[in-house]
Amino acid sequence: MLAAQDNYRDRVFHFLDVIKGSRNCLIVTHNNPDPDAVASAYGLAHLFKTKFKKEAVIAYKGIVGRAENRALIDVLQIDMAKFYKLNVKKFDCVILVDTQFTAHNHPLKSPPDAVIDHHNIIKTESQIPHVDFRPEYGACSTIITEYLVIAGVDLTPQVATALFYGIKTDTRDLSRKRTDADVEAYQFLFPLVDRESLAKIEYPKLPIEYFRSFYRALENTELYDGVVISKLGDLHRPDLVAEIAELMLRLEGARFAIAIGFYRKDLYLSFRTEAPEEADAALVVREIVGDMGSAGGHNVMAGAFIPNVPVEKRDELIGQIVERLLSMLLPENKKLRKSKLV
């Protein structure tokens, strides 16, 4: 059914071997989890519960802010615990999904028992018993779908809907960074999806704060020959940068979209491109942030985080970031042609 699964069959059996002796499992996502992270954790929790009849708790740090992402959790009734409320020592198995231990965008202090991820590999994590990195995959949900199929676990409509939405959002409906495996998993899940739940997730009610942020974003967006930069100031939720960057890339002529903002004291940056051959998103953000914070992602979408920026330093830092971005993305002579979006 899933031809692509054959390539990785051994990895799944290895994973099952690593976790089978444990009594209770903690599944951790990256901070401010997106649908792919939530769905991956949910799929693994389902595997744990049905295959081994054991407890599995999903935990995260940060905020799930985007209305669609909130709806995913609410509509499918996915239990997600705040990491800081848990005692990690209570669990004899810890799994990290949709990120890597060395990525620093998760709350774990010591190495987990397993890491499953599809981001560009930062470092081989040899101290971790089970590592499954597939940077070529469009979604971590695809990997988890293969795990469930190979483990012989039946999917509930809720699990199928979550995984389907995870693949759909991370690959933008299979339009970017996808492999045959993503297409196959998408097609496998499609008939199992609860259409009504999916519609509620994709078209949720939006809070008034969404429209206010959207208005501010339009006002504070600058255009430089195919580079769209949105300076969002204070964010009411950290994941707004991703949503705005995603939207701005849809502007006609846009090849790169960057949204920058502050949530509490921390800077958040999101980068989207449809020209990864000109500038790889993950490399660009890493280069920009340097050792000021953490950064990572894929060739077409990436994010960065700089903690504890004093308010009086914000403008200077944004100026620096924009300067670096433009010198990486545009030839020297085009840099000064700037206009406002609205």
Rounded least distance, CB 245 to Mn ion, Å? 15
3-state secondary structure 53-90: CCEEEEEECCCCCCHHHHHHHHHCCCCCEEHHHCCHHH
Binding mask 135-174 for Mn ion (x = CB under 5 A): -----x-----------------------------x----
How far apart CA 165 and CA 171 sit, in angstroms, is 10
How far apart CA 320 and CA 313 sit, in angstroms, is 11
Closer residue to Mn ion, CB minimum distance, 141 or 220: 141
Residue-wise DSSP of 12-23: HHHHHHHHTT-S
Taking CB under 5 A as the criterion, the residue among 11, 22, 29, 36 binding Mn ion is: 36
Listed ranges 46-54, 70-78, 134-142, 260-268: which one lies at the site for Mn ion (CB under 5 A): 134-142
What is the Rg, in whole angstroms, of the alpha carbon atoms belonging to the chain?
Answer: 20
- Which residue is closest to Mn ion by CB? 36
Rounded least distance, CB 98 to Mn ion, Å? 5
Size of the site for Mn ion (CB under 5 A): 4
Listed ranges 2-10, 96-104, 127-135, 156-164: which one lies at the site for Mn ion (CB under 5 A): 96-104
Rounded least distance, CB 224 to Mn ion, Å? 29
Restricting to residues 251-290, name those near Mn ion by CB under 5 A: none
Q: Hunting for tokens 């980068």 — which residue is that?
A: 271
How far apart CA 78 and CA 76 sit, in angstroms, is 6
Closer residue to Mn ion, CB minimum distance, 140 or 329: 140
Q: Is 173 left (phi over 0), alpha (psi -120 to 50) or beta?
A: left
Taking CB under 5 A as the criterion, the residue among 31, 59, 94, 98 binding Mn ion is: 98
Q: Is there binding between residue 184 and Mn ion (CB under 5 A)?
A: no
Task: Yes or no: say if 54 and 22 are a contact pair by the CB < 8 Å rule.
Answer: yes
Angle between helices 240-248 and 208-219 (to 10 degrees): 50
Residues lying near Mn ion in the complex (CB under 5 A): 36, 98, 140, 170
